[in-house]
Amino acid sequence: MVLSLAFAAVLGHRICHSIVPNVEDAWCDTSCNGKTQNCVAEFCECEPSLHCKSLSKAVKRSWCNDNCAVGNCPATLCSCPEGAATAPAAESAPAAETAPGVATAPTPVPAEDSPPLVQAPAPTAVPVADAPDAPAPVVASPLNTTAPVTKGCAAMTSVTAEQLQCVFPMLDAASASTYAKSATSKMGPLLGTTCAWAAFFGNVGVESFQLTLWKEIGCKTQPPFCGRGPLQLTGTTNYNFCASQPSCGCPNIATQIESAAKNADVGFGTAACIWGALFGSSLSPLADGTRTGFIKTCCKIHQGHYPCKHTEQYANREEYWRTASTCFGVPASADNQYLRTSRPSVLHISKEDDARQDGANRWFAEQQALQARRFDL
């Protein structure tokens, strides 16, 4: 279970270590204590914090929690609750650092100048052949499977070709039929509600331009492991991670990288991995039918964390989300205001041409906004 940022701030820095052979202790320590939490319980285990407090502006709470645990707890710098277990000073710390007021720990960096820990990437899975005594672990699939069925979010475990064309008018009938079958097979059990399907396709609409571009143009981001599939799986680490996930069903994706762009089942398999496991838990519970819930999924997929900055850039994703919500029968509400009147095309040749042109305009505008802010797809 990933700790919330607020809770982690109270606990301070925890001592974390790996409990599996192919994940290093350093990854767990960084991921479980970073500003953006990514502490996967199947990979890491953390010791409880002592709940110590800093008494000096020059010392951070995390320093007190780490050092008081080994007996180096200067009374002028730190205060710990009564009964907190600490190691004897003589056994756990050098004599020069154990006497309060005589010699303190290395000069700490002031909290306001200390850069936050950055979330470490997901660990790279080790092939079973390289670790015969302890096969590489996998995360149970999917995590936190579906969003709850509510008055506004009805149960939905499959999508039809007609519904897909309703959301993405640029798709021809043959492609819509193929993609609907693959999406149902890979995403149906993971999404589970109309609201989650709408949020998923809201992101897919921009990431793959209405499922018409399955590989990043120019393959510029971390080539050759650039974006591929409906949600644009990107980066060596993430390709390896998804190769180990049952939800993906793509054990060869790290060596057969083009399969995510050429095979619909593999492509939607990578989407299931991203949506259901890459961030430590499924994104489906975030998709509660509200705009806020949808923006959370955008932040996670595009920036890796929530809250995130520059959410105004997700206007095009929101348009797809509203369209999908209408196509899937999600009722309008004060929070969502789905059923607003769309602006007609100036040319207005036909509904189909209007839809294609509107989609192209939205996609091109978002690419310009992303490149202006230097955000990767």
Domains and CATH numbers, the chain: 5-113 (no CATH), 161-373 (1.10.530.10)
Identify which of 93-107, 146-160, 322-336 has the greatest average pLDDT.
Answer: 322-336
Higher pLDDT, 272 or 58: 272
Question: Quick one: pLDDT at residue 238?
Answer: 96
pLDDT band at 90 (very low <50, low <70, confident <90, very high): very low
Which tops the pLDDT comparison, 59 or 297?
A: 297
Instruction: Name the residue with tokens 């230097």.
Output: 374
300-322 tens-digit pLDDT: 999 999 999 999 999 999 999 99
Output 2 or 299, whichever has higher pLDDT: 299
pLDDT class of 282 with cuts at 50, 70, 90: very high
DSSP structural state of residue 12:
-
205 pLDDT above the threshold of 60: yes
Q: Computed from CA positions of residues 133, 136, 141, 142, in that sequence, does the dihedral angle turn out positive or negative?
A: positive
pLDDT band at 151 (very low <50, low <70, confident <90, very high): low
pLDDT digits (tens, 9 = 90+) for 217-255: 999 999 999 999 999 999 999 999 999 999 999 999 999
Which whole number is the average pLDDT over 353-366? 64
In which band, very low, low, confident or very high, does the pLDDT at 73 lie, cut at 50, 70 and 90? confident
What is the per-residue pLDDT for 66? 72
Residue with tokens 């196509």: 327
Residue 259: band (very low, low, confident or very high) from pLDDT cuts 50, 70, 90: very high
Q: Which residues contact 183 (CB under 8 A, 6 or more apart)?
A: 159, 164, 268
Q: Are 22 and 124 in contact (CB under 8 A)?
A: yes
Q: How far is CA 308 from CA 143, 304, 369, in A?
A: 23, 9, 16
Q: Does the pLDDT of residue 348 top 70, yes or no?
A: no
**In contact, 196 and 284? CB cutoff 8 Å:** yes
| Amino acid in position 354 | D
Please indicate whether residue 167 or residue 101 has the higher confidence score (pLDDT). 167
265: left (phi over 0), alpha (psi -120 to 50) or beta: alpha
Q: What percent of the chain has pLDDT over 90?
A: 47
Q: Give every CB contact of residue 200 below 8 A, 6+ residues apart in sequence.
A: 187, 191, 271, 275, 287, 297
> Hey, what are 343's tokens?
């602006």
What pLDDT shows up at residue 158?
Answer: 97
For residues 371 and 357, give the distance between their C-alpha atoms in angstroms, rounded to a whole number: 21
Average pLDDT, the chain: 74
Please give the pLDDT value at position 113.
Answer: 40
Q: Rounded to an integer, what distance in angstroms lies between the CA atom of residue 203 and that of residue 294?
A: 9
Greater pLDDT, 178 or 103 = 178
Using CA atoms, how far apart are residues 76 and 235, in angstroms rounded to an integer? 47
User: Of 347, 285, 351, 296, whose CA–CA distance to 318 is shortest?
Assistant: 296
Please give the share of the chain, as a percent, with pLDDT higher than 70.
62
Q: Please check whether residue 201 is in contact with residue 324, taking contact to mean a CB–CB distance below 8 angstroms.
A: yes
Report pLDDT for 24.
74
- Whether the per-residue pLDDT at 363 is higher than 50: the answer is yes
C-alpha of 254 from chain center = 20
Q: State the pLDDT at residue 102.
A: 35
Residues in the chain: 377
Across the range 58-62, mean pLDDT stands at: 73
